Chain A
Amino acid sequence: MALSGMRGLSVFISDVRNCQNKELERARVDKELANIRTKFKNDKGLTPYEKKKYVWKMLYIFMLGYDVDFGHMEAVSLISAPKYAEKQVGYIVTSSLLNENHDFLRLVINTVRNDIIGRNETFQCLALTMVGNIGGKEFSESLAPDVQKLLISNSCRPLVRKKAALCLLRLYRKNPDVVSVDGWADRMSQLLDEREIGVLTAVMSLLVALVANNPDAYWNCVSKCVRVLERLTRSQDIPQEYTYYGIPSPWLQVKTMRVLQYFPAIDDPNIRRSLFEVLQRVLMGTDAVKNINKNNATHAVLFEALALVMHLDAEKDMMAQCVGLLGKFIAVREPNIRYLGLENMTRMLMVSDVQESIKRHQVQIITSLRDPDIRFRIIFIDLLVQCISLCSIRRRSLDLLYGMCDVTNAKDIVEELLQYLTTADFAIREELALKAAILAEKFAPDLSWYVDVILQLIEKAGDFVSDDIWYRVVQFVTNNDDLQPYAAAKARDFLDKPAVHETMVKVAGYLLGEYSHLLSRRPGCSPKEVFSIIHDKFATVSTPTKAILLSAYIKILLHSQTVDPELQNHVLAVFRKNETYLDAEVQQRASEYYALSRKGPSMVDVMAEMPKFPERQSALLKKAEDTEVDVADTSATKLRLMQLTSTAVVVADQKPANGVHPALTRVPSGQRNIEAPTVPVANGGQSPAPVDFLAIEAAPTHSAPESSPLVGPGDSLALALMDNQASTVQPTGSVTEWFDALCRKDSGILYEDPFIQIGLKAEWRGNQGRIVLFLGNKHTAPLLSVKAVILPPRHMQLLTSNVPDTIPPRAQVQCPVEVTNLSPSREIPVLDFSYNNSSAMVSFKLRLPVIMSKFLQGATLAPADYIARWKALMGPPNKLLQEVVRGVKPLPLQEMSDLLGSLHVAIAPGYDPNVNNIVGAATYFSENPTLCLIRIETDPADRTQIRLTVGTPDTSVALELKEYIKERLVDIPSGAAPTSLPGMPSPADDLVGPAASLAGLI
């Protein structure tokens, strides 16, 4: 046994170890703490050795989980000791014992700084290590420049520079301003040329954090990162000590691929090609080996590569290859890889059209439901939920869902879904409830289970259960005699619970009215008792429910074999009372039932049980089967037709549940919450949500129905392929999606097809903007007769530079455009682009993302100022434009506020005393900047309508801005958008899509 080298410390550790129980241990620790406290009090008598020993003891005690609230000063003071041995202890104990906000740290800042800038390399290392491990604002402010210098210094050894890089990373996390100095991006780029793998790894960690916060600033690092990956995957110049089980630093590979996932898209075709070569190499070399560490390291790299491939939205072949790999992973025994395979399969489902290939693996996927590890079951449910939320968008995935559910596992699956329902995202609950009901009906192993499921569904998510769901239960129960007593008893149990949902009152009232007499011998189920349980709810339910309950009462009364006079009096009193009820239906039922019940048992036939329903198809299943039809025929046109006609049969209207978030751009951790709110923002472009999804559907299959009169709004909005029906060149992705992404970001792809890629980068300042179009020839032959004409709307001035007539093979041409916004308008410029790929002429029109929000900038006002301005706008003359907007996408308040924030409106929470209202302010830049005040009043009872108020001194701004915001909030039914755009819109009236239809409505 190796001993600590300090006898006193070893003895203490032994003592603690030998303690039989927790109490004895605490006593021993307390004794030691008292001892240390006394020693520290007469500080002068302590030798450096003793001081060290006690400080270590403190750390040991602290590590065991005890509170150590003294002696910090002694630990900190060791840092200032001149000798290495003491300094080292001081640094390490301080960094473990104190956290970043501790006051004592301030005392040593000078010493630490002297160690960092001093000549002694070992001291530098100690100081950098502590600062890196503690972080803290004060360190950040006072030490960052010195740390930065060490990192870029040529004279420092790798050990110091490596520590400096990570130390800087910690300081940056605390305070991003520390590296805002100009030119740092170039420094980072130079640092990536580093050959030493240790330093390079540390630099890459730093880069991950920098890029996560601000990808735009570090574009120059992309090609370097790809080169690093090339070096690693080809094992070029990698010293033996940096290979791990034969793999060139897997960690550096993972980090580098992580960096690349933060860039929205990689425009440069050459870089993109090299990157795909690297990725291809990673995806190919994946033979499973016996050695578990080698296996893990290979797969760590592989999973990161998969994530990067998904992010880059690679070609279909590569995606299919990825699904194939994942299929292999979920079949292996090794739980880690199986788990990650499944998790990534779920992500894959979101990304692109790979469901067909995923379906091939469904058998494997299902086995995870029975895995002993609960994590697998959770992931499985995630996957199902993913399917479900996709169902309403891409109906084919319902097929995938059915594929995974069968009679043997339906019980488990549905029960897991019910569990999940209570915690599920609000937006998806209705969809989940419906799908759970469908699955339960389709695969019910027995009918009583089905009844259980539906009643539980109502209990857990009553708000989200449509009437059709409970009608279906009633049908089943009515048609199955042996189910009736069971259902009635269940219904009675549910009514006993404290808070009963109204839908439950309806279904329970109905079932008990029909069948409670079958229970009358059971305890607590006499007609009188059943009546009083139901009637408890009567006062609080809505009118239609009251009507159902009245029918239940008379049935209970007339079904009972012996008339209970007391019950009769009660029931009659209720009828009497409601004869004067406000609602005609209730009134009529009350009077008629009153009259009927007075006639006594002779009327019993009138109130007999309901006859059996003719065997009819479930409305729920019907909906599902409609879907199965279009599984066979997947053309987008058919799909549209289905969607338009099937609403008649369908239970709930087709709402896109939870948006799809196709590009899985990494969101920096710590800001993870951003991921969810961006979903509504995905509609931040000109197109409403459903459009997006159709575009996804249509684009990859190239079946965009140009010739059909039923063109989906997605396609017409995208403006792509409008007049090139003869041409066979198709974009490699969805133009609408690219456009939408660019509405949110300032760089990315605008368009891409097999020959050309058009990237876009923009900067905005006030009413000015500078857009650079990157035209990259992907082809091996030159592109000829290149023409790019931008059709500016009236309110904008655009200065376009000339585009060369020819783009050489594999070359990229930049085309800067200067934009000046002159007056408020929602119109946007259109790029008319054409080229000749030496076999055909290709031309298309693309909307440029010069939307209103690019000229908006959030404005923060003090509450008093805000109110004063608001009052001033109220007039006279009244400059507040107000409108009640209906058909708004029902969003939780926070998401709506985030959506507004994404339009560059500064939200001012708490300014409005009503918590259901959102207020904010922004400056709109056209010829003159205009301050705009915005208020949204929501109705918690009805999320689909709001009152929107926009006030600005300049009413034309207010008008445009109000419409602009409205477009973002309104959920336009997919059928309502214009069918197709006839020819080319003249620049003056190129209001397209929702804007046009809205303009038409007003």
Chain B
Amino acid sequence: QIQAVFLVSRQGKVRLQKWYTAYPGKDRPKAIREITSIILSRGSRLCNFIEWKDLKVIYKRYASLYFCMCVDADDNELDCLEVIHLFVEVLDRYFGNVCELDLVFNFHKAYYILDEVLLSGELQESSKKSVARVISAQDTMVEKAKETGISHMMSSSSK
């Protein structure tokens, strides 16, 4: 089971975090700091798995961002590593050549997408196409709501 997912930049700034356990909110920043400092200090030729407390952290660097997943100690490491890559591919498809700034300014989108890829700490959907369909349907619905909202505002202001 995936316990937590987080994205940190090379400077150690958190770009996204999501927890799938009742890990106390107050301890989360500390946990992320600890794990990040281990990961940032590791060379690029080392393996992508580390142990932290009784968990395993699977991480992978994409450009300036580290994607990290805390999982149970007996989970399949490579399986998790490719879940990360799947998530990256989905982001890439949505943003079109995704970069860190996309995720900074559209962090809420990243959250929506994550929620379609993972749920309850498990992989929810492995078809990129299927995720893309769901997200674009969501976007359409929000847009619609916005339009009606604006027309409502305009009609109320013109009164």
Interface residues of A (CB under 8 A from B): 1-4, 10, 13, 17, 48-49, 56, 59-60, 63-65, 67, 83-85, 88-89, 92, 96, 99-101, 122, 129, 132-133, 135-136, 159, 162-163, 166-167, 169-170, 173, 197-198, 201-202, 205, 239, 241-242, 244, 249-252, 254, 258, 293, 296-297, 299-300, 303-304, 335-340, 372-373, 375-376, 666-667, 669-670, 672
The contact of A336 among B78, B102, B120, by CB within 8 Å, is B78
Contact B47 A198 (CB under 8 A): no
Closest to B48 in A: A336
B13 within 8 A of A: yes
Task: For A99, list chain B residues within 8 Å (CB).
Answer: 19, 22-25
Contact A67 B122 (CB under 8 A): no
Using A166-B124, A205-B122, A241-B130 as known contacts, say yes or no to A669 and B86 having CB atoms under 8 A apart.
Answer: no
Q: Give Cα A372 to B46, complex, Å.
A: 8
Task: For B24, list chain A residues within 8 Å (CB).
Answer: 99
The contact of A241 among B1, B33, B76, B127, by CB within 8 Å, is B127
Contact A304 B76 (CB under 8 A): yes
Q: Give Cα A670 to B158, complex, Å.
A: 61
Closest to A675 in B: B74
Contact A1 B120 (CB under 8 A): no
B16 within 8 A of A: yes
Q: Give Cα A1001 to B65, complex, Å.
A: 70
Contact A167 B119 (CB under 8 A): yes
Task: For B28, list chain A residues within 8 Å (CB).
Answer: 65
Contact B82 A296 (CB under 8 A): yes
Task: For B159, list chain A residues within 8 Å (CB).
Answer: none
Contact B127 A64 (CB under 8 A): no
Contact B78 A340 (CB under 8 A): yes
Task: For B107, list chain A residues within 8 Å (CB).
Answer: 4, 13, 60, 63
Name the distance in Å between B54's Cβ and chain A's nearest Cβ.
Answer: 7
Contact A56 B108 (CB under 8 A): yes
Contact A1 B101 (CB under 8 A): yes
The contact of B82 among A1, A300, A303, A669, by CB within 8 Å, is A300
Closest to B79 in A: A300
Contact B126 A169 (CB under 8 A): no
Task: For B62, list chain A residues within 8 Å (CB).
Answer: none
Interface string of B24-49 (1 = CB under 8 A from A): 11101100110000000011011111
Task: For A67, list chain B residues within 8 Å (CB).
Answer: 25-26
Closest to B102 in A: A2
The contact of B32 among A65, A202, A667, by CB within 8 Å, is A65
Contact A241 B82 (CB under 8 A): no
Task: For B142, list chain A residues within 8 Å (CB).
Answer: 84-85, 88
Q: Give Cα A336 to B72, complex, Å.
A: 17
Task: For A669, list chain B residues within 8 Å (CB).
Answer: 1, 72-75
Contact B85 A293 (CB under 8 A): yes
Task: For B127, list chain A residues within 8 Å (CB).
Answer: 197-198, 239, 241-242
Contact B78 A297 (CB under 8 A): yes
Using A4-B105, A159-B134, A244-B82 as known contacts, say yes or no to A201 and B123 having CB atoms under 8 A apart.
Answer: yes
Q: Which of B62-114 contact A (CB under 8 A)?
A: 72-79, 81-83, 85-86, 95, 101-102, 104-108, 111-112
Q: Give Cα A539 to B17, complex, Å.
A: 60
24 sample A-B contacts, Cβ–Cβ < 8 Å, listed by A number: A2-B102, A2-B105, A2-B106, A13-B104, A84-B145, A92-B108, A96-B111, A99-B23, A136-B22, A162-B125, A169-B122, A197-B127, A198-B124, A241-B127, A254-B76, A293-B82, A296-B82, A304-B76, A339-B47, A373-B47, A375-B50, A669-B72, A669-B74, A672-B54
Contact A672 B74 (CB under 8 A): yes
Contact B124 A162 (CB under 8 A): yes
Name the distance in Å between B47's Cβ and chain A's nearest Cβ.
Answer: 4
Contact A129 B126 (CB under 8 A): no
Task: For A372, list chain B residues within 8 Å (CB).
Answer: 43, 45-46
Name the distance in Å between A30's Cβ and chain B's nearest Cβ.
Answer: 16
B151 within 8 A of A: no
Contact B145 A83 (CB under 8 A): yes
Task: For A205, list chain B residues within 8 Å (CB).
Answer: 120, 122-123
Contact A135 B106 (CB under 8 A): no
Q: Give Cα A950 to B72, complex, Å.
A: 41
Task: For A63, list chain B residues within 8 Å (CB).
Answer: 14-17, 107
Contact A251 B123 (CB under 8 A): yes
Contact A92 B112 (CB under 8 A): yes
Q: Give Cα A122 to B51, complex, Å.
A: 39
Contact A100 B22 (CB under 8 A): yes
Q: Give Cα A198 to B156, complex, Å.
A: 45
Contact A2 B119 (CB under 8 A): no
Using A198-B125, A241-B128, A375-B50 as known contacts, say yes or no to A49 and B149 having CB atoms under 8 A apart.
Answer: yes
B138 within 8 A of A: yes
Task: For A670, list chain B residues within 8 Å (CB).
Answer: 72
Contact A122 B141 (CB under 8 A): yes
Task: For A122, list chain B residues within 8 Å (CB).
Answer: 137-138, 141
B10 within 8 A of A: no
Using A244-B82, A300-B78 as known contacts, say yes or no to A170 and B120 having CB atoms under 8 A apart.
Answer: yes
Q: Give Cα A122 to B139, complex, Å.
A: 12
Q: Give Cα A993 to B142, complex, Å.
A: 75
Contact B73 A132 (CB under 8 A): no
Closest to A199 in B: B125
Q: Give Cα A63 to B22, complex, Å.
A: 16
Q: Give Cα A496 to B141, complex, Å.
A: 76
